[in-house]
Amino acid sequence: MYDVVALGELLVDFIGHGISEDGNMLFEQNPGGAPANVLALCSEFGLRTAFIGKVGADMHGEFLRDVLRSKRIDISGLIMAEDVFTTLAFVKLTNGERSFSFARKPGADTMLTAEELSLSIVQNTKIFHFGSLSLTNEPARSALLTAIKAAKAAGAIISYDPNYRKPLWSSKGEAIAQMRSVIGFVDIIKISDEEADLMTDEPDPQKAAQALLNQGPQCAVVTMGADGALVANAEGTAAKKPPVCKVVDTTGAGDVFWGSFLYRLIKSNKPPAKNTLAELANHIDFANTAAARSVEKRGAMPSMCFLMGRV
| pLDDT value of residue 96 | 58
DSSP state of 165: -
Position 298 scores a pLDDT of 58
Q: What's the chain's average pLDDT?
A: 92
- What is the reported pLDDT for 25? 87
Specify which residues 28 forms β-bridges with.
15
Domain count, the chain: 1
Kindly state whether residue 40 falls inside one of the protein's structural domains. Answer: yes
The per-residue pLDDT for 99 is 77
Q: What is the pLDDT of residues 12-53, one digit of tens each?
A: 989 888 899 999 989 989 899 999 999 999 999 999 999 999
Give residue 177's domain range.
2-10+34-87+106-307
Residue 59 is assigned to a structural domain of this protein: yes
pTM of the model: 0.93
Residue 8 backbone class (left: φ over 0; alpha: ψ -120 to 50; beta: rest): left
Q: Is residue 235 part of a domain?
A: yes
Q: For the sheet with 11-19, list strands across it.
A: 25-32, 11-19, 88-94, 97-103
pLDDT at 173 over 50: yes
Pairwise CA distance, residues 67 & 286, whole Å: 26
CB 280 within 8 A of CB 218: no
Least confident of 85-94, 137-146, 178-187: 85-94
Which pLDDT does position 222 carry in this prediction? Answer: 98
Q: According to DSSP H, which parts of 55-128 are helical? A: 59-70, 119-122
Based on the number of CB atoms within 10 Å of its own CB, is 253 exposed (0-12), middle (13-18) or buried (19 or more)?
buried
Q: d(Cα 302, Cα 274) in Å, to the nearest integer?
A: 34
- Provide the CATH number for the domain around residue 114: 3.40.1190.20
**What letter would DSSP give residue 123?**
T
Q: Residue 78 falls within a domain, yes or no?
A: yes
- Domain membership flag for residue 18: no
pLDDT of amino acid 294: 73
Q: Is 15 inside a domain boundary?
A: no
For residue 156, is it within any domain? yes
Question: Which of 302, 289, 156, 162 minimizes the C-alpha distance to 229?
Answer: 289
Q: What is the pLDDT of residues 194-223, one digit of tens each?
A: 999 999 999 999 999 999 999 999 999 999
